[in-house]
Structure 1
Amino acid sequence: MSVTIIIPARFASTRYPGKPLVALRGAGGEARSLIRRSWDAAMDVPGIDRVIVATDDERIRDHARGFGAEVAMTSATCRNGTERVAEAVANLGLTSEIVVNLQGDAPLTPAWFIEDLVTGLRADPQAALATPVLNSTGRMRAELIADRQAGRVGGTTAVFNDEMQALYFSKEVVPYAAGPFDDDEPTPVHHHVGVYAYRPEALADYAGWPEGRLEKLEGLEQLRFLEQGRRVRCVLVESRGREFWELNNPEDVPKLEQMMLRMGLN
C-alpha cells in the first residue's frame, strides 16, 4: 500500500509569521529551519514512497528545494493544512492509497508515530482518517494548562470513546480532571499530535465541504470531518522516552531547543 507524506507550510501564519523558516538549534549546535527539520522527520519514516512540501510561498519553496525537497505549489486561499494537502494531491494527480499530513510545525514527531498511524488507519476500514494521541503526564498536562492560563494557544487535546473513535478535539484542556498529578504520572488528558493519515477519497470530500462551525471556533481543521459525521480514528502512540511539542508560538522555540538538547537530537 503506497504512502505519501505531504508537509503543508505557509509563511503568513497568524500567530507566528514566517514560522516554517524559523531556525531551531539542535544538541550538536547546528541550526536548521523548522521546515527542514519537519522534512528530516518525514524522511526518517521507513516504507514511505514520497515526501512533498506543499506551500504557496516562494521563499519556502526556494528554501525547501535548496535542501533537496520536492515542492508542490498550492494556492494562497487554502485555509488550513488539510485543504493544502488536498489541493496538492489533486494538482499532482497522486494515486497513493494513504496520504499523511505531517504538519510543518511538528519537527519532533518520531518515525514510529507515523508508522503506528498508518497501521491504525489500515486496521479501521470505516475511518476517513486517523490521527495520533499521546497520553499526557502530569508535567505535560500542567504545561498545556499554563499555556491556556497565559492566553497562549498551545497544544490540542483529544477525547475519544472505547473504540478509539474521536469524539472531540479542543485547544482547551479536556476532559476536566481535578488532580493533582505527579510530573510523570499518567493523566486522563490526551495530547493530540498534529499528524493525519487520510484516505484520498476523504481528502477529496473535505475540500468540497464548507468550513465547519466548530472548526472555525476552535481553529482545528480535523473537526470538519466530525461535523460531517465522518469517523476519525485516534491512534494511541508511545513516547518511548521522547518528548513531544509543536511550535505554535515564538515562546516555543527555546522549549523545543531544550527538548532536543535533553534528547541529544541534532
Structure 2
Amino acid sequence: MKSVAIIPARYNSSRFPGKPLATIGGVSMVRRVYEIVSSVGLDFVAVATDDSRIYDHVKSWGGEVIMTSENCINGTERVAEAITHLSFDPEFVLNIQGDEPFIKPQQIMQVANALKDPGTGISTLKKKIENEEEFNNQNVVKVVTDTDDFALYFSRSPIPFIRDKSSSISSFHAFYKHLGVYGFKKNILMDIVRLPESILQKIENLEQLCWLENGYLIKVLETDFQSLAVDVPEDLAKAEKYLKN
C-alpha cells in the first residue's frame, strides 16, 4: 500500500501573495513543511504548484515538485492533478497544507493510519477549542462529529450553539476546531474533485461540506498538538516567536 503526500503551494494568495516562499527562521515555509512531511517515512512526498518561482525554489534544494495547471480552484484539485503525474498508483494520498510550517509528524501519521480502516475513505484532524475567541472566530472552522468520530458538520459559525447563556465553552468538552490536513483513499479523492459545487459549500466556503452533502464519510481524529497556520503576513511574527519557544 503506497502512501504519498502532496503539498499544494500557490503563489497568488489573495491574503498573502508569495506565502510559500516567506521565510521563518531563515527557511521558507514550503521547505519547512516538506522536511517535516518527509521525516515520517511515506513512499513519496512532493510540492504541487502552478508557479515557476515556487517550482524553481523547491528544485534548488533538491525537493520533489510537480507543475500543475493554473485552473485548479483549490488545493484538493491540485493534489488530485499532481497524482496523475506519478509513475505509480498510490493507495493513500495526503494533502498537507503549505501554510502549516509547524505540523507534527505524529499528526501526519494519525491521518495516514486512519485510512487503513476499510470504512474510512477520508480522514482529517480536530482539536479542542480552548477559548471563547476561537469559538466565535469565523476564520476558525468548527466541527461536530458523531459517536464514531465521523463528521456531522463543519462551520465557520460557533457549533454546537450554546443555548444556556449562563454556560460557556469551559462548561463542556465537546467543542472542536478543524485542522486542515486530509488523507484520502485515491479513488475517493478522484471522485470528490469531480463533484459540482454544493449549496452548503458555497454558503460557508468550505469544500468538505460538498463531500458530506454527497454522502462521503469524513473520519475526524482528535489531536492534542497545537499548530500555528500562517494565513496573512502578520502571522509571520507569531511564527518566529513560536519557533523560538
TM-score past 0.5 threshold: yes
- Provide the C-alpha distance between the structure 1 equivalents of 2:150 and 2:199, rounded to a whole number of angstroms: 20
Contact (CA 8 Å) 2:129, 2:135: kept in 1 or not? no
Q: Which runs of 5+ in 1 are unaligned?
A: 26-30, 149-153
1:135-154 Cα offsets, whole Å, 9 max, x none, are 2223xx52453x54xxxxx3
Residue segments in structure 2 that go unaligned for 5+ positions in a row: none
Partner amino acid, structure 1, of 2:12: A
The verdict on how the C-alpha distance between 1:129 and 1:40 changes in structure 2, with shifts beyond 3 A counting, is: same
How many aligned positions are there? 242
Q: Which residue of 1 aligns with 2:133?
A: 142
Q: Does 1:163 align with 2:148?
A: yes
* Contact 2:114–2:120 (8 Å) recurs in 1: no
Q: Which of residues 30, 38, 59 is equivalent to 1:35?
A: 30
Identical-residue share of aligned pairs (%): 36
User: CA deviation digits over 1:147-168, x for unaligned, max 9?
Assistant: 54xxxxx332211111111111
Q: Match of 1:28?
A: none
Deviations 1:78-116 (A, max 9, x none): 111111000111232541111100011111110001111
Distance 1:96 1:186, change over 3 A: farther
**Closer/same/farther in 2, CA of residues 207 and 36 from structure 1, 3 Å limit:** same
For residue 166 of structure 1, what is the amino acid of its counterpart?
A
Measure how far apart 1:221 and its partner are.
2.3
User: Is 2:70 the partner of 1:76?
Assistant: yes
In structure 2, distance between residues paired with 1:69 and 1:173: 40
Partners of 1:5 and 1:101 within 8 A in 2? yes
Aligned partner of 1:223 among 192, 209, 231: 209
The answer as to 2:2 corresponding to 1:7 is no
- The one-character-per-residue Cα deviations of 1:14-73 (angstroms, maximum 9, x if unpaired) are 222211111122xxxxx211111111221222x311111000000110111112210111
Q: Say whether the 8 Å CA contact 1:137–1:186 is kept in structure 2.
A: no
- Name whichever of 245-254 and 3-12 sits farther off: 245-254
Q: 1:256 to 1:187 in 2, by over 3 A?
A: farther
Give me the whole-angstrom Cα distance separating, in 1, the residues matched to 2:29 and 2:172.
29
Is 2:23 aligned against 1:23?
Answer: yes
Partner SS for 1:122: coil
Whole-Å separation in 2 of the counterparts to 1:135 and 1:34:
25
- Structure 2 CA distance, aligned partners of 1:260 and 1:142? 23
Q: CA RMSD in A?
A: 2.0
Q: Distance between the aligned counterparts of 1:230 and 1:93, measured in 2?
A: 28
TM-score w.r.t. the length of structure 1 is 0.84
Instruction: Output the CA distance in 1 between the equivalents of 2:189 and 2:38.
Output: 23
Counterpart code for 1:127: T
TM-score normalised to structure 2 length? 0.90
